[in-house]
Homo-oligomer: A and B are copies of this chain.
Amino acid sequence: MGAKGVSKGAGHPALCDVELVTVLSALAEPTRLRIVAMLSEPGGERAWKDIDLPIAQSTLSHHLKILRNAGLVRNRTEGTRCFVSLREEEMEGRFPGLLETVLHCRDR
């Protein structure tokens, strides 16, 4: 166990260890940007299975891992299910305004 009681293979990095370029790389991919935008909608948390995109399950898992490593999203396991959410406040502390600006630019 890393820092908290986290989910399976994950491991969430401390935001201070995350580089800006890592975050930008994570966001610079259409599918991942779409996931982040989806998670930013009201409701906050999203069940894994509710993220339905035209990609294989293993591909989605791969993208979520990249978003996790970039400190953008958080995994929470509840029983056999998994929930994903944005690390909005923490990202705001590390990279002020970044997430909000990117999301705002996305749907202008």
Instruction: State the A residues within 8 Å of B (CB).
Output: 20-21, 24-25, 27-30, 33, 95-98, 101-102, 104-106, 108
Contact = CB atoms under 8 A, between A and B. Distances in A.
A8 to B, nearest CB: 27
Copies in the complex: 2
Contact of A98 (B21, B95, B96, B105): B105
Interface of A is mostly: helix
5 contacts: A21-B33, A24-B33, A97-B101, A97-B104, A98-B101
Contacts of A97: 97, 101, 104-105
Contacts of A20: 33, 102, 105-106
Nearest to A106: B20
A69 to B, nearest CB: 14
Given A24-B27, A25-B28, A95-B108, 13 more contacts: A20-B102, A20-B106, A24-B102, A27-B28, A28-B28, A95-B105, A96-B101, A96-B105, A97-B97, A97-B105, A98-B102, A98-B105, A101-B101
